[in-house]
Amino acid sequence: MGGYTWVTVMSIIYSNKYGPWIIGLAICVGVAAGVVILALLAASVTTRRAEVASIYNNKKVEITGIEARNRVWGENYPREYETWAKTANMDFKSKYLGNIQQDALGERPDMVILWAGYAFARDYKAPRGHFYTIEDMLETLRTASPGVEGTADLQTASCWTCKSPDVPRMMEQTGAAGFYKAPWSSMGSQIVNPIGCADCHEPETMNLAVSRPALREAFQRIGRDVDKASTQEMRSLVCAQCHVEYYFKGDGKYVTFPWDKGFSVEDMEAYYDEIDYADWTHALSKTKMLKAQHPDWELFLVGPHGQKGLSCADCHMPYISEGGLKFSDHHLVSPLSNVAGTCQVCHRDSEETLKKFVYDRQDKLLETRNRLEPELAKTHILTKMAIDAGAADEELEPIRKLLRQAQWRWDFGVASHGAPFHAPVETQRILSHGLDKTLQAQLLLKDVFYAHGVDSTRMPDISTKEKAQVFIGLDPEKLRTQKAEFVKNVVPQWLAEAVANNRI
């Protein structure tokens, strides 16, 4: 307006005999526009509520109890079901991960050494969509091939816990303890539907609900009540039933969350140390090891988005609209596959800039991870050399303690696939401490080697997954052959029984 100010303009208007009339007209027009906008908004809200009410009043099937078949829920909630079905897609690849199947051991064979003596050394693939939870469990070498060539169960049914809505259905019949301790294969014809509706929803109200006992039990031990959680908290807690650190307690393999002392990597380590717990003894270094599962929720809590009060669903299940109805997108996948519907709801940066923010954090964290993994694998092998040279357990005790601590920190940061984004600062701290403890163990090993006259520490060739597996005593070809026979002959029998009993 050139050199005019708002005060100048108003003075001119008021000096005109029509000034007050002009102002009054402007106010009337503004109020009328506001009323129209509010009316349109009210009509939109009313329409949405009417459509929601229509869904509830026109259900095609009545669902009560634990209904594990996702297709049945789909008859009442077709929009949500259609988006959930997209978790079968394998069409997205970010810079490092996506929803495609990736052989993590093939890409990083040092992990075979890190898990020597544990089932993960057999097979470890990057996760893909929820649609594949059952298929991946049946096909992984970690569950062995029970029934083939006299092969026994390698796992108990506790390994099914987070894979299917059939799990709470079976727990209702057997009790949680009875379910956990059952042989894995005994549930083969029962656990047949992939993660879906009943895992997170009550059928009568569609409210979010915790369907597994471990989360509720862990909260009770620390004085919290899941039933008093807010709606926003529940939008994360239904995920935290599974996307957390846990272990199989006692001979009954009871699924337990180690949160009694807190949620940090040190808190959980102190919990495990106090009860003298180990997931397994390392085949090379003979160290009592801890295997981190996937502490996604615990790390998310201390990251920037968790601290701001966001939930898992805000980014992984953004709201979408269809036909005037707003609902959550159940196509759970990386937010990077839909930046406009996730990140840009809050951030005004370009898609390219936002992706660069994420990739920069991933790049820096993976620098530390890629420095730590080979040094950790090397330290296990060096410890085996010390054992072979005659080193006593007393000499190796401080080295093994550092190895346990180092690998726990590595695994805690790596097993949580979203850690570089969920909590980049905390994850960098954890991995850096893991590297520090690994190098401390190597320094102690030098003294042991000197004491036992070891002057050569030539490393074996573990440059591929197969070479590393053979080095730790596995027969990968035999394992794959047995699994192929299992998938061809045993799995169809399980599925046929499930179909015959209308479980799918």
Q: Which of the residue ranges 9-13, 54-58, 392-396, 471-475 would you say has the lowest mean pLDDT?
A: 9-13
- pLDDT tens digit string along 324-382? 788 999 999 999 999 999 999 999 999 999 999 999 999 999 999 999 999 999 999 99
Q: Which stretch, 23-27, 35-39, 383-387, has highest mean pLDDT?
A: 383-387
- pLDDT more than 90, % of the chain: 83
- pLDDT tens digit string along 230-256? 999 999 999 999 999 999 999 999 999
- In the 3-class helix/strand/coil scheme, how is 251-287 assigned residue by residue? CCCEEECCCCCCCCHHHHHHHHHHCCCCCEECCCCCC
Pairwise CA distance, residues 328 & 231, whole Å: 14
Pairwise CA distance, residues 420 & 428, whole Å: 8
Verdict on whether the full-model pTM lies above 0.85: yes
Q: Select the more confidently predicted residue: 246 or 97.
A: 246
Mean pLDDT to the nearest integer, 308-326: 91
SS3 call for 161: coil
SS3 call for 243: coil
Evaluate if residue 191 carries a pLDDT over 70. Answer: yes
Going by pLDDT thresholds of 50, 70 and 90, the confidence category of residue 59 is confident
- pLDDT tens digit string along 297-312? 999 999 999 999 999 9
Pairwise CA distance, residues 336 & 95, whole Å: 10
Evaluate if residue 398 carries a pLDDT over 50. Answer: yes
Evaluate if residue 30 carries a pLDDT over 70. Answer: no
Q: Select the more confidently predicted residue: 9 or 330.
A: 330
Mean pLDDT to the nearest integer, 54-62: 74
Q: Are 142 and 119 in contact (CB under 8 A)?
A: yes
Q: Look over the chain and give the mean of its residue pLDDT values, rounded to a whole number.
A: 91
Evaluate if residue 6 carries a pLDDT over 50. Answer: no
